[in-house]
Structures are given as C-alpha cells and as structure tokens.
C-alpha cells in the first residue's frame, strides 16, 4: 500500500513538472503490476479465468483495474500490456529497423525438428529485412489491377455454390467453404489464367490443405497458454476468420445489410475495396473482433520512453487491441456494430482510429493486408448483391484459438435476391 501511495504521489508531482519535453518520466518499476507467484507468475489466475480461450477477457479486466499500461509475469515471461492508442502508435512507429516479435514455442520446435523454414513470420534481423523488401514489392507496393478479375471470379464461384443450397436452411460447412475460397483465391492469383486448367488436379489437395490449416490453429492454441505469442499472420486465414464474424454481424443487422446493398448496386465496375461503405464494414468488424487481439513486440532498452515510463530493459510488449478497440474513451458506443463510424461524412472524428489496428502498423505490419482487404470487400459486395442474410446462430462471443473465432458453430441462412 505504501508503494502504491508513493507512485500516486509521484504521478501527482509529475503533473506540475517539466521533464523530457514536458513529460514527467517514471521508471519501469513504477508501472502498475499484477501480483503473481514465484516461478509461475499469474498462470493460475489465467487458468481460473478460463485459460487461453478467455485470455482477451482476462487482460481486459486487468486493464480496467490497473490502467492502460501494466506489467504481468506469466510463467517466466515478463509482459508489458498496453491499450493506450497513443502509446500503441509510438510502439509501431519507433520499433526500429529490425522489429522483433514472439513465435509459439511449439512452432519453433517443429521448425528445428523438421528443418522447415516458414518465411517472414520466423525471420528476424537482416534476413527478415532483405526478404520483407522483396515481399513489399510483390504484395504492397505494386499495381493490383491484374488481381481484380481473379478475385471477382473466385468470389463468383463461391456465390454460385451458395446459391445452389436450400434457401430455407442454414448453410452447411460455411467455415470450410470460406477456408477453401481463401486458399483458392491465393492460388488463382499465383498462377493466373492457368488456374482453370489445374483446378481438377488440385481439388483433393486443396480440400486437405484447408483442413490441415484449421487444425494448426486449434492444436497450437492448446500447446501454450499465452495467445499473444503469435502476432500478425500473412492475412489469408485471418481474413477467413474476419469474414465469419462479419457474416454473423450482418445477419443480425438487416438495416445495415440494406444500407450497404443500396451503396453497391450498379457499381460492379468499381474496385470493391474503393467503395467506402465496404471498407468501413470490414474495419468495423475487425474493430469488434480483431483477428489478432494481441500483437507482440520486443521493446525497451537504452533511452526508450513509452507514455510516461522509461523502459530501460528489454521486455515483451503486448498491444491489447481487443481492449483498446472496445474502450468507450476511444469509440462512442463501442459495443455497437456501426460501420458508418469509419466514414468521413459520418463524424469519424468522434473516435480514435489508431485504437483499432487490425493489420498492425509500421515495418512489420501484415504483408497481406491489401490482398486481404480486396478479397473481403469483393466477397461482401457480391454477397449482398445476391442474398439477404438471416441469423440462426444466436448470441456469439469471441474465443481465442491463436486468433479470434466465434464460440459456436456459425449458422447463417441465405435468401436469394431476385432483381
């Protein structure tokens, strides 16, 4: 109690001080800390709160009690959790030439055992920077117009499949359909017009790959307790998870469906990701259900200051996107699904956009973000041009399987629109 009062007094004193460009800087030890046990830290608390699937809720409650920045030792790992949007921005914009982030121990063990390399996700230092620059040219800094037709065609095939389903019953295997569609799109973008020729040959392999990827996420989540140990993925499968949540949200809000439908009718010639309401709907879905509710960076060292604290040692910094994107100080009515909050004409100044960064920011942001956004916007456009969505799922809560997923099977019905 004495130490808490001292820190409180220091903070009060700092409000009248001018230190470090007007900010009074406290030390790392002054950051609020969650109490734990020797060796295991707060592991038992996490297990008692629902373990890995409920970790985002556990950390959200910690933020409510300890503030926008707090320390917690989970097992042997010292973590610094951050939900303040200004500090989050500082982390991403000043992460240095070679940003470092954590990787699940199970994945590293598999890599060593099988001597497999996994590209950018596993790289650090100069090796990462060299390959990242190459991938930036291919996936970020380029003309994407050749990708438009392959994406439209792959979405069209998915719409045709769903149109053939019974109109009254919920869709069967919607999750499998989305996985498969996402993988098919990437292959289509890779091989171009040759896709139609090879499609019959890869049908079985494509189906198997979609099942394997699904199992990777579910199994990895069981092998370690701390979901933030995995950060940004390369966009594809994260986009699949985001689409599932978007379908649920839209099926529960027929008024939002109709508003979007009015905006996209007759705009087939436009690139879907250039239609503001479609981008806004994706952003709002990712605000409420960020694919990666935590993003990790190795931060700290000499002369590092975050917020009002000096981080003079290397520590695992965990950006709490789930908390920041649902904080009423950052978003008005934060639990409401309101896509137009992201449109300039609808008072976007009422929120803090840097509090919701689904693709992260800076040098190590998601390499697949542009393709993912194009995929999701095109699917949303064609979906609402063809169908009305009806919800059969009931109340849904997010749980973590490395990334955010719904806690129950999705049941969405589609009713064909006859124009």
Measure the CA–CA gap between 390 and 411, rounded to whole angstroms.
9
Q: How many domains does the chain have?
A: 2
* DSSP-assigned states of every residue in 219-275: HHHHH-S-GGGS----SHHHHHHHHHHHHHHHHH-HHHHHHHHHHHTT-TTS-GGGS
Residue 46's domain comprises: 25-87+99-112+293-325
159 & 262 share domain: yes
3-state helix, strand, coil in the chain (%, to 5): 55, 10, 35
270 & 318 share domain: no
Mean pLDDT for 392-412 is 86
In a domain, residue 12? The reply is no
Mean pLDDT for 215-236 is 52
352 & 229 share domain: yes
Tokens, residue 98: 């070679």
Judged against a pLDDT cut of 90, whether residue 284 lies above it is answered with yes
Per DSSP, 41 falls in state B
Site of tokens 């592991």: 43
- Higher model confidence: residue 57 or residue 138? 57
In a domain, residue 93? The reply is no
Average pLDDT of the chain, as a whole number: 83
Measure the CA–CA gap between 29 and 171, rounded to whole angstroms.
53
pLDDT band at 395 (very low <50, low <70, confident <90, very high): confident
241 & 357 share domain: yes
* DSSP-assigned states of every residue in 228-244: GGS----SHHHHHHHHH
- Give the residue ranges of the annotated binding site: 366
250 & 316 share domain: no
In a domain, residue 5? The reply is no
Tokens, residue 214: 């699904």
Measure the CA–CA gap between 70 and 81, rounded to whole angstroms.
5
Tokens, residue 206: 């494509």
- Give the residue ranges of the annotated binding site for heme: 366
In a domain, residue 118? The reply is no
Note the pLDDT tens digit of each residue in 99-112: 887 776 777 777 88
Among 205-219, 233-247, 263-277, 295-309, the range scoring the smallest mean pLDDT is 233-247
In a domain, residue 30? The reply is yes
Site of tokens 């004409």: 345
Whichever domain contains 339, its CATH number is 1.10.630.10
pTM: 0.87
Judged against a pLDDT cut of 70, whether residue 234 lies above it is answered with no
In a domain, residue 7? The reply is no
In a domain, residue 17? The reply is no
Mean pLDDT for 161-185 is 83
235 & 303 share domain: no
286 & 398 share domain: yes
Measure the CA–CA gap between 102 and 99, rounded to whole angstroms.
10
Among 105-109, 328-332, 404-408, the range scoring the smallest mean pLDDT is 105-109
> Among 126, 125, 127, which Cα is nearest to 117's?
127
38 & 78 share domain: yes
In a domain, residue 224? The reply is yes
Tokens, residue 195: 């896709």
Judged against a pLDDT cut of 70, whether residue 151 lies above it is answered with yes
* Domain edge (last residue) among 325, 342, 374: 325
Q: What is the predicted pLDDT for the residue at 188?
A: 83
173 & 239 share domain: yes
* Beta strand residue intervals within 223-340, DSSP E: 294-299, 305-306, 309-310, 315-320
Q: What is the predicted pLDDT for the residue at 97?
A: 86
Beta bridge partners of 41: 37, 74
210 & 310 share domain: no
Judged against a pLDDT cut of 50, whether residue 4 lies above it is answered with no
Among 61-65, 181-185, 189-193, 353-357, the range scoring the smallest mean pLDDT is 189-193
């Amino acid at each position: 109690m004495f130490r808490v009062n001292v820190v409180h007094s220091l903070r009060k004193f700092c409000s009248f001080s001018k230190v470090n460009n007007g900010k009074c800087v406290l030390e790392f030890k002054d950051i609020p800390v969650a109490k734990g046990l020797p060796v295991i830290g707060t592991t038992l608390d996490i297990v008692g709160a629902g373990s890995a699937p409920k970790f985002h809720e556990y950390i959200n409650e910690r933020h409510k009690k300890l503030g926008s920045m707090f320390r917690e030792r989970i097992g042997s790992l010292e973590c610094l959790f951050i939900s303040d949007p200004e500090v989050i921005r500082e982390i991403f914009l000043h992460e240095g030439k070679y940003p470092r982030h954590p990787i699940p121990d199970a994945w590293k063990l598999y890599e060593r055992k099988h001597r497999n390399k996994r590209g950018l996700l596993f790289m650090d230092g100069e090796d990462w920077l060299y390959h990242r620059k190459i991938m930036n040219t291919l996936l970020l800094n380029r003309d994407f117009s050749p990708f438009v037709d392959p994406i439209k065609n792959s979405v069209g095939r998915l719409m045709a499949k769903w149109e053939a389903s019974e109109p009254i019953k919920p869709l069967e295997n919607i999750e499998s359909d989305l996985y498969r569609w996402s993988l098919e799109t990437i292959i289509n973008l890779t091989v171009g017009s040759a896709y139609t020729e090879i499609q019959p040959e890869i049908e079985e392999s494509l189906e198997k790959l979609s099942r394997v990827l699904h199992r990777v996420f579910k199994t990895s989540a069981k092998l370690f307790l701390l979901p933030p140990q995995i950060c940004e993925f390369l966009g594809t499968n994260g986009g699949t998870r985001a689409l599932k949540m978007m379908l649920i949200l839209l099926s529960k809000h027929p008024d939002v469906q109709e508003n979007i439908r009015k905006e996209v009718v007759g705009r087939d010639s436009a690139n879907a990701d250039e239609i503001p309401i479609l981008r806004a709907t994706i952003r709002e879905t990712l605000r409420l259900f960020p694919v990666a509710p935590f993003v990790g960076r190795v931060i700290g060292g000499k002369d590092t200051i975050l917020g009002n604290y000096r981080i003079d040692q290397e520590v695992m910094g965990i950006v709490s996107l789930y908390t920041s994107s649902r904080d009423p100080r950052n978003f008005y009515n934060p639990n409401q699904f309101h896509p137009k909050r992201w449109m300039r004409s609808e008072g976007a100044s009422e929120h803090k956009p840097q509090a919701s960064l689904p693709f992260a920011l800076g040098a190590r942001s998601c390499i697949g973000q542009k393709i993912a956004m194009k995929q999701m916007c095109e699917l949303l456009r064609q979906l609402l041009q063809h169908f009305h969505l009806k919800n059969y799922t009931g109340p849904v809560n997010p749980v973590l399987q490395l990334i955010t997923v719904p806690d129950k099977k999705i049941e969405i019905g589609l009713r064909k629109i006859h124009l």
